Amino acid sequence: MEKVTIKNITTQILDIPIKRPHQFSAVKVSSKSFVLLKIELSNGIVGIGEGTTPGAFWNGETVETMQTIIDRYVSPLLLGQDPVLTEALLQKINRQIRNNYFAKATVEMALFDALGKWYNTPVHQLLGTLHKDKIPVRWALASGTPEGDIEEAKEYVESGTYANFKTKSGKEAPDDDAKRSIRIAEGIKSHSTIGIDPNGSWDRLTTMKWMDAFFDAGIDFLEQPLQPQDVEGMARLAAMKKVPIMADESASSVEDAMRLAKENAADIFSLKIHKAGGMKNTIKVAGIAEAAGISCFGGTSLESSIGTAACVHAFASIPNLDYGSELFGPNWLLDDPVTEPLTIKDGYIHVPDKPGLGIELDEEKAAAYTRQ
């Protein structure tokens, strides 16, 4: 039998509109950009990977940097190689290219999709085995006003789409943000809960001052209140034993997770396959959390159904995913470049069971959204 090798690698950038502008702490966005990576094997099988970032503000990577890294530096390391030696290929990429975790996660995703399609098995079986076949999903409220957010949450609960929520903070002054979050939490208290995510834009003293009020309002968790480097500050907040402290930007790599666990700087890790450099690293981060008694939450970089499928395969194998996920990316985009989008119903996203990532690229849509 002829040996199968990696034959061809292509990238394209897709710009897909979103349903309504989304306010992060630093920027407001009205469309989302993706790197679509195709890795073709010599047996004709094509694996797809999707790279996307919240924006350059998050960790410096963008779709343009990912495309350059993959085209110029990763492709020469993979072409002609044996795709079965995936771990060895990923290690080689790691040794030759520092950081660039989002780009590396995109490459791992396409390799696993190709292998799964070849072996006729879903990616979750390549990663280990399943712990659950569906994952709870929170929606991020970002209408712009507390009243709008309360109304939006009510509509989602009534329509049976989402049961719990997150709010973004950081655009306003921290005190105003805190008051707004409490107003929303109290407005929906009878039927659901929120977590707050200021994306590292608050300071220690302001955050400490509000912890009792957050606890009283029934807020589920406070995600990355302080800047990513302030591990000591996060540890002080966690020691207050009020609202659980979630680390997102602080807990990117496997090494970050180790440091936070050692310094008791988080009660929950937000996992993201892109920031960790892939699905396998994400599972390693969850393993560190498990050993340290830390819970996990399935974070998103707001992927389409392609990247979200990869998240679901990884997260569904994690036993300590105690806080569910925020894998609402497919519902947030105005369009999804796949033939059958993943569905979110009754607050859950289900694990795809078809080979590979279990989703199929819609070539016509991908072509229509490709940046010229």
Give contact residues for Mg ion (rule: CB under 5 A): 197, 248
For Mg ion, the closer CB: 197 or 336: 197
For Mg ion, the closer CB: 70 or 276: 276
Active site residue 326: yes
Active site residue 147: no
Work out how close the CB of 168 gets to Mg ion at its nearest, in angstroms, rounded to a whole number: 8
Residue 294: φ, ψ to 5°: -100, 140
Which residue has the closest beta carbon to Mg ion?
248
Work out how close the CB of 198 gets to Mg ion at its nearest, in angstroms, rounded to a whole number: 9
For Mg ion, the closer CB: 75 or 167: 167
Selecting among 38, 104, 117, 168, the annotated active-site residue is 168
For Mg ion, the closer CB: 54 or 355: 54
Which residues are known to be catalytic?
168, 326
